[in-house]
Structure 1
């Protein structure tokens, strides 16, 4: 069985994915794959530099993710251009890793952690979609604390994604991560037992 795991910025997807892995799930992380496809020397990174210029390039040839983030979160067209460069390569690797994991571990839950799952229209690729949810005001507070940014920047980044309330309506399973870690863990346990996973 596989699930698509999604949420919004600062909803706690990594917390929930770690809890699932601790229970025995196999995680395929789109953010990790996204970092891999822009390693120095990759064709994808060359295209990113071609589109966004050398100002986002570190001295060692690696991508300055913060500078790129500042550009794409302030400009919808730039964000769409970046997605068009990255997403095909990311999807191909994710698909290959999911297939391999399901083949090698048919008894395990395979979890694809994809932040923009609904925005990309990929929900049909998974048996079910699990959403990690917190209300937007908690997202803003957590993002400000995590990234050391002000409320305006945090709101801009969060609003660049589909509203969390819309995602909540589309998900098959919702894990409310606005309470304590124990509360989140209890919800994961109930989900795990409900699926008959061992």
Structure 2
């Protein structure tokens, strides 16, 4: 069996990764969303919750048994060692879930939607190409403030913990410009979709 073409999709918070992934899915790609896998792992009864509670204490689970995201976010941003422990728990489980989802995929090709693709350092060997969704930092900040009801300082703190725009662009084989809204995305997606279909052969 020929391995299905794998593409890595990344972008900073507020760049529009989910919208771009949906547009690729509408054209026949299978999307493996590592954020969704992480959410499942930290939901009530999620596969990562016993290890998280063992490492951080029961106060990091909410009343339903899910990860207390606000508490963990505060800790992870203030304590690099705690962030490293959390990543050591989550990242191998996310990777295994992503590979299992890709193995079961039936689309024309697989897109791994990975917010921290550049930061992780291990995805480059798993994908044929990396596509970065790019927009200005001002657009990122405005989108996240509106969507998540966060302050500008909070959004900048999240962005500072991610790869820089320049680092993502340097790692990318393909770039999708998402400064101008959804109407400007379609022709870019069409062009890359056609390229990825050709790369399968």
Matched, 1:82 2:89: no
Query: d(CA) in 1 for partners of 2:99 and 2:90?
Result: 14
The partner residue of 2:30 within 26, 29, 33 is 26
**Number of residue equivalences:** 193
Query: d(CA) in 2 for partners of 1:89 and 1:78?
Result: 17
The Cα offsets for residues 87-130 of structure 1, whole Å up to 9 and x where unpaired, read as 011101111221332xx55xx12111111111111122101111
Aligned partner of residue 27 in structure 1, secondary structure: strand
Name the residue aligned to 1:10.
14
Query: d(CA) in 1 for partners of 2:17 and 2:102?
Result: 18
Query: d(CA) in 1 for partners of 2:159 and 2:153?
Result: 10
Q: CA RMSD in A?
A: 1.6
Name the residue aligned to 2:118.
118
Please list, as runs of the form range in 1=range in 2, the aligned pairs for 1:62-73 lying within 5 A after superposition.
Answer: 62-73=66-77
TM-score (norm 2): 0.89
Aligned partner of residue 175 in structure 1, secondary structure: strand
Tell whether the 8 Å contact from 2:46 to 2:66 is kept in structure 1 after alignment: no
Q: Report deviation, 1:67.
A: 2.3
Q: Which moved more, 1:125-134 or 1:34-43?
A: 34-43
TM-score (norm 1): 0.90
| Distance change >3 Å, CA 157–CA 98, structure 1 → 2 | same
Query: d(CA) in 1 for partners of 2:110 and 2:86?
Result: 27
Q: Report deviation, 1:137.
A: 2.1
Query: d(CA) in 1 for partners of 2:45 and 2:193?
Result: 41
List runs of 5+ in structure 1 lacking aligned partners. none
Please list, as runs of the form range in 1=range in 2, the aligned pairs for 1:20-169 lying within 5 A after superposition.
Answer: 20-101=24-105, 104-105=106-107, 108-121=108-121, 122-169=123-170
Q: Report deviation, 1:77.
A: 2.5
